[in-house]
A and B are shown apart, each in its own frame.
Chain A
Amino acid sequence: MNRLVLGSPMVLALAIVAGCASAPPPTEQMAVGRKAVERAAGTPEVVQLAPTELERARMKLADAERAMANRDYDQARRSVDEAEADARLAEARAGARKNDRALAEVNQAIRGMREELARRPG
């Protein structure tokens, strides 16, 4: 009983100090980060061509959600911003890989056509 009465104000004070030192909850950033990761995860070419980058974004978002639950808003902000950056990197990387392949195919097709033209007498 005594310990409880004595402990409560201390816990309260600590919480207030922590709350004052910490930033407000990054609600808006969380929304933006979730949206970014969601978009990347919902794009088949990203799932297929940049799975590692996508997974990193997901883990960061999960970190952010955990930090939010723990009211560690600084950590949540950092994680969700990184998750967003990772998601954008995943999209850019998937796009680059897709275009690399498409370009290689076009180049091969052109080589084939050139060879065909060279082989056949006009």
Chain B
Amino acid sequence: MEKQKRIHRSGLAVSLLCAAVLAACASVGINDNLEAARAEVNSAAADPDVVSRAPLELKNAQEALNRADNLNRGRDSVAEVNHHAYLAAVRAQTAKDLARSRRDTDEMTRMQAEVDRLRLASRTREANVARADASAARTDAAIAREQAQVAAQQAAAASAQAQSATQQADAERARAAQASAEAAEAREKLRVVLVELQGRETERGLLVTLGDVLFTTGRAELLPNAGPRMDKLAAFLNQFPEKSLLIEGYTDSTGSDALNQELSMRRAEAVRAALAQRGVSPTRMATRGYGEGYPIASNTSAEGRAMNRRVEVVVTDDRGNLKPRA
């Protein structure tokens, strides 16, 4: 029973609904413009942004829509219905645009705060970077100063070293110059003595010839006038104690070979004795007698024979070599 009643009731409801729809269809013509406007207004009304940010425009749109509906229900002119539907749609769109515009503005205000925050962060960061840069620059400068100081010290040390080296070199040069001067002086002295002794450089060494005039003819004793010459020769030899000497006696071709040989030997011995007497070490001296051999002039003239009667003193060369006759 209950069930049947409910079916009856629902059937009745459906019937009523159908009747209502039919009535609506009969009394109100379907206007596409009006329905499009309704969709527009509804979509605006469904947007919370429009409701909150453009309520006045939304209200105007809804009023225009209501007016259009009323006119439509009152079978008013289509032109009037369309007109109000148009106003409703345009106002709904205006409401939407206004809402969007205002939402944008609010959003921008919010964004501006974010921009300010970021700008501050950026500036803070820049300041930090600048501080770090300044600190790094200070450190760099300190390092550069330190390096410059070290370089200056090194330069000073190098300069001092160079000065010292220069001084050493100067001293060295002075010493060398002095040694050179001394050597030159010694050489000069030697040359002077050699000139005095009438000595000369030969391939056998330094040769000093003691002439015939120092001996009595046919004898081996040195004449007294040979004294100064012996003094000079001894002094010269004593100046060079490292040099050895060879004393060689020669005669002219007068007389027998054996006699000449003996005489030349004895004359050489006489010179050796005289030099030994004047302080020349006998160990440095050797004697030879060559008789009439190795004449230095022709024996056919008196002058030539006089020149051949002689004693030659050969002094070792710089290498200390004595070269006796082969």
Chief secondary structure at chain A's binding surface = helix
Determine the chain B residues whose CB is within 8 A of the CB of A117 once the complex forms: 118, 121-122, 125
CA distance A81 to B100 in the complex (A): 24
Stretch at the interface among A1-9, A10-18, A26-34, A92-100: A92-100
Using CB atoms, name the residue of chain A closest to B107: A103
CB distance from A56 to the nearest CB of B (A): 9
Of residues 65 through 93 on chain A, the ones whose CB sits less than 8 Å from some CB of chain B are 74-75, 78, 81-82, 85-86, 88-89, 92-93
Chain B interface size, as a band, is: 20 to 34
A110 contacts the other chain (Cβ, under 8 Å)? yes
Are the CB atoms of A92 and B101 closer together than 8 Å?
yes
Chief secondary structure at chain B's binding surface = helix
Are the CB atoms of A88 and B80 closer together than 8 Å?
no
CA distance A107 to B125 in the complex (A): 21
Determine the chain A residues whose CB is within 8 A of the CB of B114 once the complex forms: 110
Are the CB atoms of A78 and B79 closer together than 8 Å?
yes
B86 contacts the other chain (Cβ, under 8 Å)? yes
CB distance from A67 to the nearest CB of B (A): 12
Are the CB atoms of B98 and A110 closer together than 8 Å?
no
Q: What are 8 contact pairs spanning A and B, CB under 8 A?
A: A78-B79, A85-B86, A88-B94, A89-B94, A99-B108, A106-B115, A109-B115, A122-B129
Chain A residues in the interface with B (C-beta under 8 A): 74-75, 78, 81-82, 85-86, 88-89, 92-93, 95-96, 98-100, 102-103, 106-107, 109-110, 113-114, 116-117, 120, 122
Chain B residues in the interface with A (C-beta under 8 A): 57, 79-80, 83, 86-87, 90-91, 93-94, 97-98, 100-101, 104-105, 107-108, 111-112, 114-115, 118-119, 121-122, 125, 128-129
